[in-house]
Structure 1
Amino acid sequence: MLDLLNDTAADVKRVSLDDVFSTIGRRSFGPVVLLAGLVTLAPIVGDVPGVPTMMGLIVLLTVGQLAFKAEHFWLPQWLLARSVSSEKMSKAVSALTKPARFIDRLLKPRLTVLVMGVSRFAVALACAITALMTPAMEFIPFSANGAALIWTFFGLALITRDGFLALLGYCLTGGLIAIIVTNLF
């Protein structure tokens, strides 16, 4: 998937969200949640103020549709038109390539009960709660990285049917909620 994104960035001056979704496909919710996590984790793109909240909005819209059993996801045109320079996209993809190859060797279907059927609603709920907290995370240093890691785990869990990653995502969600509540109150 990262190679495809890199090819997309090489063909244009700016890469829009619509370009990215056209590259990864529109039928699966997992890649969208994963992409939001990776973008937010990327040091060049994810540190820009507003990006975690925008990615949180994408996750919220996506998992909301997942919870209502939509066949494919929909995003508003104004959001799909958002873009970054192809240079920034290439740098982000380059930074993620080596870790992605390592992770690909580790993933496999296991504990599938945590990502199949009714459990997909629990994944959607955990992602939605995290996404709703992203505006507050803009003011708490590095907390958006926690949300990004959660989305990355859940996105990968949905793609590979790896319930162990979902379990890690649930644990991180609980920890992040505790951190946010402690820092805000």
Structure 2
Amino acid sequence: MLRSALLYTALLFGANAALAGPVDWQAAREAGLVKLVPSESPAPVSDVEFTDPNGGTRRLADYRGKVVLLNFWATWCAPCRKEMPYLDALQAEMGGEDFEVVAVATGRNTPEKIDKFYEETGLKNLPVLLDPRQQLARAMGVVGLPVTVLIDRDGNEVARLLGEADWSSEPAKAVIRQMMAE
């Protein structure tokens, strides 16, 4: 309870990211990210390729130097439909040189269904990224959707959340700010 009060007080007064210390995972869970689980020992993420709709390839290594919120989703996933607007809002507010939301549609998601999903949910800030054969998802140990993985600037998984979350919430943004300050 005290940690939650401290977290919200810091947020209320505009916590200075430059003064932030290591991520307070317990405070984040107590403030609303109850399913967020930090890695016991951060490990490098997979180097499996994924694509964009034009066939261009990407790797998570392409994002080194940034804090990354990697999200696995699908057009048929009801919790994903609820969560994706939060990810879009987070990217709009905090995405840039130091941070990026990388949302990857995994499995069978036709371009038409992805376009319809983006239109229906109002997504404007997330590029379409694809993992059609679920190679990246499998390499990352994803067994259900949605799954979100926090990756540090060095390309290590530092935390994971199974299921949906409000990534545009103040507790989520506080975690991102703390990671960016490390």
Question: What band does the TM-score fall into relative to the shorter chain?
Answer: under 0.3
Q: Which has the higher contact order (CA 8 A, sep 6+)?
A: 2
Higher strand share: 2
TM-score computed with the length of structure 2 as normaliser: 0.25
TM-score computed with the length of structure 1 as normaliser: 0.25
